[in-house]
Structure 1
């Protein structure tokens, strides 16, 4: 079954076309990277899937449903690129509030587990406005995971995290074998560690998709994504 499907999607911001006739499908249980340079349309794609934007043309489906439906929104966990938890609430209050909205059982146990795993326990009584960017990112990830979503949409999930925390997050995400995951990133090494398939976006269009192992022939993982995309474009001419 397809968990995510885009059919000939077009999205414009005024005169700027962010997505131009984008189509792809992601089967339930797949781990997929949405790879491309800054400005390629990755964040716009995730916002369409989570129901923050509507396409100007085409169709977006989440398990066959309109992303704006209550049922679709209930099965998605979303980490935006510039996450902004409730600044005046404490870390724990943010987690407990979102957990209550999501209908989570055993809220205290679930919150405690995430606080400990993401090394946020010492900040649980601190207001979010006082946190570093790294700790805000960890909280935003915890908020996306609090209800054990079927589908995870993660926009640059390792931003602002130190190396040990990155490794813990990668381990956690890889352990979620039943979840469908779409990870947006401009770094090939992150895509390789979190996904088995990849969709490459450039200038609002899908320029390549397939197994991530097949992408290696177009460049090394430490190369700038712009160089890899240039080789991809040459290969399809």
Structure 2
């Protein structure tokens, strides 16, 4: 059975759809805030931007497993856009913390980062996302070289667990671990699949090649 392979126009249409869908959460948050429909707008925005950061991180991590399981190699073309949305919502999450919690008082913000562990790990995760977003262009891939670029972007394997830990500690105050457990299970599964394929690779390399065997 032939794998589904969309043309360039279809991929562009899918990217446009992802872009529009990716903006819906922030548009909804802005509308609810401006219209005064939220009892606690700061909490809603903080929670919403944090949740959507994790959603997009999980979707980004899911691209490679979906590509390998489905044979739809064109999915890789969508990963950059999804990853940039993860950074976009992480940036909004951080700006909510810096603006509304500390009114751009960098000294007070830094004191909070150092003092409170759940903010520390969240801040580290955000800082690690910055070079990934900054090097997402084709020009930066060429400048860094393919291998160096790939090694840099493997930081997402650290960023995602840090994001889960940030969420876990934030929920610990309310003894509500259901959502962090779900996010953690998804990230563990997606990273576990990568580890499984990596461990299988030497064994597959030692076997004689057969016609039609994938190289990766």
Fold shared per TM-score above 0.5: no
Give 1 or 2: higher strand fraction: 1
More helix by share: 2
**TM-score, normalised relative to structure 1:** 0.27
> With structure 2 as the length reference, what TM-score do the two structures score?
0.29
Greater radius of gyration (CA) = 2
